[in-house]
Chains A and B, each alone.
Chain A
Amino acid sequence: MALDKAPDQEDNFLAGLATRLWHVTMSLAEPVMAGIQRLIGAKRMPWVFLAPNLVFFATFVFVPLLIDFGYSLTGGTHLFLSQRPWDGSAQYGHLFNCQNFSNPNSCEQDRFWHAIFNTGTFVVFQVSAMVLASLITALALNKRIRARGFFRAVFFFPVLLSPVVVALIWKWILQRDGLLNAWLTAFGGSKVLFFISPHWAMFWAIFVSVWAHMGFYTLILLAGLQAIPGDLYEAAQMDATSATRVLWRITLPLLMPNLIVVVVLALIKSVQTFDEVYVLTGGGPGTATLMIVQYIYETGFANQVQNFGLAAAASVVLGVALFFLTLLQLALSRRKGEAL
């Protein structure tokens, strides 16, 4: 098995140690688990396996979500639900008080609607760019090239940086007196103030988050590519099939399960984008790169008057929207023949 025969010499020791530890601890648990199985029967065992995860879920996700829902129905600034005055659907009323839903400026909570529109734009472009960039990189890394390990490591490295550091590095590069402008002027161009142009700010927000995370998705895709049996390609080579045809007919279809994982994860992370963009552009200029999570964070946490109610209502709206997005994804991936 994989753990038992890792081929690299250096890995042998650590992998062996991990395997041994795993064997010892799991064997210790064996009598207990066997007893449980005898007691409840094999049919109910999946629930035993799910239990620890579900306990954590319930405590740290479901209960908070319920509290959050409670917040959204109450007002004031108190932390404890019992002290908060009932507000009914007033918070939702604030959010949806718009004269014209296509124009955020006509809404009572104009920043909320700006944030919704910005997040939509960001997600569409960022996910497409992310999938494309990591696919191309994975394909390039999958070729028989020298120093593949080095290249792979280089592309992955930014993933290790914390979002705050990523944003700071790029902020320096992009500011008026940054590296990029130094180059632009050196090549005879003029300085560009990227962060006061809404389009540039959005562009760089997308670019930087792709830069920071594509390594992770590349790795997933690369794993998929390497698992595609080599004889398929040899057969294609016999028939002198063109490179593009091989890509469309063999590689992409066989990579589909990994691609779905990548799309789903990238989409989720994209909707949740916060700290990178927050540190990079601060949501500006104006409200041009204000994301929904930043809106919620500022309303409920960073403002002097912490408006938990309104923030919670916004997160409930976000949650409902995300839920439908999930259903859509499920339906789509089902049709692709992948049991998700």
Chain B
Amino acid sequence: MSLLLKRRHRNQWHWTDVAAYIYLCLGVVLMFGPVIWLVMSSFKTPSALMEFPPSLLPLTQKMAQSSGREALPLYTLTQADGTSREVVQLHRMGIMATIASPNHPDQTSQVSIDALTPERHIEFATDNYTKPLREFNFLRYLKNSLFVTIVATIITLLINSMAAYALSIYEFKGRTAILLLVIGTLMIPVTVILVPVYLVATKLALVNSLWGVILPGAATPTGVFLLRQYMLTLPRDLIEAARMDKASEWQIYWRIVVPLSAPALAVLAIFSVMWRWNDFLWPLVILNKSEVYTLQIALNAFQGELQVQWHYLLAMTVVTLLPVSLVFVFLQRFITSGIATTGMK
């Protein structure tokens, strides 16, 4: 894999390089295309959202402003001889439309609507963003979401790294049993024990409190597993050396093992941030007062019984994407830089 790592000679291309570039470029289209599409769609009006064929850019009907009249929609009229011209539509009954030239709105004529194509131009429906941001208490929900995400991530990192440390560095009686428990529960999805967890939360008075969102998911088995696998690869002699120096177990944990595990911690941090930020089903069950809503609940309130207000839902989805994207940009550099500097694993 000189091969898969480096080019043979500086300026010579190996076939694997070409393949990698082709693959990655295709990947960009496939991975990022839908996201771009989400962003573009969030700027469309409700009726443009439902159109077929869908347009990438948000288009709306062009209107002709003429003095003394309300704005009229502009159409392209395809005439019998195959030529076309621009007209305004005055009104429409069934399949017949009354049209006129934009400059002479008084000289009207009747045509079949089949001959008319609407003229459209790009217009960003920023209303999708401004209206909900104004109307709903965005800052409060943002604050709640940030609180949950940050506090939960810190707790998760701390207690999971402690547990992983115990399970990787020590040999002790009962280790295998605990490991089995960890991995066994790793497999139980929260969704299937939703109701019993809710019962426990009511007994602990965690209903309608942000702690009720944070605590139940703090001891992620995934995190313990991930960190432990990483800690297993740490060099033992470092730890032994520290013990020789009379370092306490706690010091070994926080001075040696945790800093060495930074890349794995960063992976878990990304995982936890994303998971908390997007968490929906559990907060929906445990929170029912708007003071404590997280963004995901507030944003999904655009989903009614019979209709979904897509334009708002999409715009607010884009808004909620921004903070996690920033966190990711920061943390993902950390992972690679952490690995590069220590040169260890």
- A and B are partners in one complex rather than unrelated chains: yes
Instruction: Given A53-B162, A257-B233, A261-B226, decide whether A160 and B3 contact each other with a Cβ distance below 8 A.
Output: no
Q: Which stretch, B63-71, B82-90, B115-123, B187-195, touches the partner chain A?
A: B187-195
- Residue of B with least CB distance to A215: B31
Q: Give chain B residues whose Cβ lies under 8 Å from the Cβ of A264.
A: 183, 225
Given the known interface contacts A3-B262, A219-B335, A296-B191, the answer about A49 and B165 at a Cβ–Cβ threshold of 8 Å is yes
Q: Which of B181-235 contact A (CB under 8 A)?
A: 181-189, 191-197, 199-200, 204, 215-219, 221-222, 224-226, 229, 232-233
CB atoms of A155 and B196 under 8 A apart: no
A101 within 8 A of B: no
Instruction: Out of B54, B226, B330, B338, name the residue touching A177 (CB < 8 Å).
Output: B54
B345 at the interface (CB under 8 A from A): yes
CB distance from A306 to the nearest CB of B (A): 8
B24 adjacent to A46 (CB under 8 Å): no
How distant is the Cα of A45 from the Cα of B321 in the complex, in angstroms? Answer: 42
Q: Is the CB–CB distance between B332 and A152 below 8 Å?
A: yes
Chain A residue at minimum C-beta to C-beta distance from B281: A275
Say yes or no for B150: interface residue by CB 8 A criterion: no
The answer to whether A99 has its CB under 8 Å from any CB of chain B is: no
What chain A residues lie within 8 Å of B185 (beta carbons)?
57, 61-62, 65
Stretch at the interface among B93-101, B130-138, B246-254: B246-254
Residues of A within 8 A of B300 (CB): 164
> Using Cβ atoms and an 8 Å threshold, which residues of chain A touch B270?
219
Stretch from B4-12, B105-113, B139-147 contacting the other chain: B4-12
Q: Is there contact, CB below 8 Å, between A60 and B219?
A: yes
Main secondary structure, interface of A, reads helix
Interface flags for A227-257 (1: CB within 8 Å of B; 0: not) read: 1001001101100011100110011000001
**A219's contact among B23, B197, B260, B332, by CB below 8 Å, is which?**
B332
Q: Is the CB of B178 within 8 A of A6?
A: no
Q: Does A116 contact B (CB under 8 A)?
A: no
Task: From the candidates A53, A61, A220, name the one contacting B224 in the complex (CB within 8 A).
Answer: A53
Contacts of A37 in B (CB 8 A): 248-250
Instruction: Say yes or no: A159-B274 contact (C-beta < 8 A), given A34-B250, A46-B166.
Output: yes
Q: Is the CB of A226 within 8 A of B336?
A: yes
- Checking A53, A144, A322 against B184 with a beta-carbon cut-off of 8 angstroms, the contacting residue is A322
Query: Does A11 lie within 8 Å of B333, measured CB to CB?
Result: yes
Residues from chain A with a CB closer than 8 A to the CB of B199 are 64, 67, 79-80
Total contacting residues, chain A, CB less than 8 A: 128
Chain A CB within 10 A, most for which of B5, B14, B19: B5
The minimal Cβ–Cβ distance linking A251 to chain B, given in whole angstroms, is 6
> Across the interface, which residues of A come within 8 angstroms of B221, CB to CB?
57
**Known contacts A11-B337, A161-B35: A2-B189 contact under CB 8 Å:** no
Q: Please provide the chain B residues from 326 to 345 with a CB less than 8 Å away from any CB of chain A in the complex.
A: 328-330, 332-345
Partner of B196, one of A67, A242, A250: A67
Give the chain A neighbours of B187 by CB distance below 8 A: 268, 271-272, 319, 322-323, 325-326
B250 touches A173 (CB 8 A): no
Chain A residues with a Cβ under 8 A of chain B: 1-8, 10-11, 14-15, 19, 22, 26, 29-30, 33-34, 37, 42-43, 45-47, 49-50, 52-54, 56-57, 59-65, 67-68, 71, 79-80, 136-137, 139-145, 149, 151-165, 169-170, 172-173, 177-179, 182, 211, 215-216, 219-220, 222-224, 226-227, 230, 233-234, 236-237, 241-243, 246-247, 250-251, 257, 260-261, 264-265, 268, 271-272, 274-275, 293, 296-297, 300-301, 306, 308, 311, 314-315, 318-319, 322-323, 325-326, 330, 339-340
List B246-275 residues whose CB lies under 8 Å from chain A.
248-251, 253-255, 258-260, 262-263, 267, 270-271, 274
Residue from B5, B21, B27, B215 in contact with A155 in the complex, judged by beta carbons closer than 8 Å: B27
B146 to chain A, nearest CB (A): 16
What is the CB-to-nearest-CB distance from A27 to chain B, in angstroms, rounded to a whole number? Answer: 8
A222 to B32 Cα, complex, angstroms: 20
- Given contact pairs A143-B20, A158-B31, A326-B180, enumerate 16 new A-B contacts (beta carbons under 8 Å): A2-B262, A8-B337, A49-B165, A49-B253, A50-B162, A59-B215, A62-B185, A64-B196, A136-B23, A143-B6, A157-B328, A160-B321, A169-B37, A220-B267, A246-B3, A300-B194
Q: Which of B31, B41, B192 contacts A211 (CB 8 A)?
A: B31
Grouping DSSP codes into helix (H, G, I), strand (E, B) and loop, the B interface class, with mixed when no group exceeds half, is: helix
- The answer to whether B162 and A52 have CB atoms under 8 Å apart is yes
- Min CB distance, B314 to chain A, in Å? 8
Chain A CB within 8 A of B306 CB: no
Instruction: Check A49 against B163 for contact (C-beta < 8 Å).
Output: yes
The smallest C-beta distance from B9 to any residue of chain A, in angstroms, reads 10
Nearest A residue to B4 via CB reads A139
* Of A8, A56, A215, A315, the contact of B193 (CB 8 Å cutoff): A315
* B149 beta carbon closer than 8 Å to chain A: no
User: Which residues does chain A contribute within 8 Å of B6, judged by CB atoms?
Assistant: 143-144, 233
CB distance from B279 to the nearest CB of A (A): 8
Q: Once the chains bind, are B3 and A236 in contact (CB under 8 Å)?
A: yes
Beta-carbon contact of A237 and B216 below 8 Å:
no
User: With A and B bound together, what is the CA distance between A330 and B179 in angstroms?
Assistant: 10
Choose from A29, A46, A60 the contact partner of B200 (Cβ within 8 Å): A60
Task: Report which of A26, A71, A79, A155 forms a contact with B254, defined as CB distance below 8 A.
Answer: A26
CB distance from A314 to the nearest CB of B (A): 8
Which residues of chain A are within 8 angstroms of B79 by Cβ–Cβ distance?
none
Q: Which of B17-41 contact A (CB under 8 A)?
A: 17, 19-21, 23-24, 27-28, 30-32, 34-35, 37-38, 41
Q: How far is the CA of A325 from the CA of B187 in the complex (A)?
A: 10
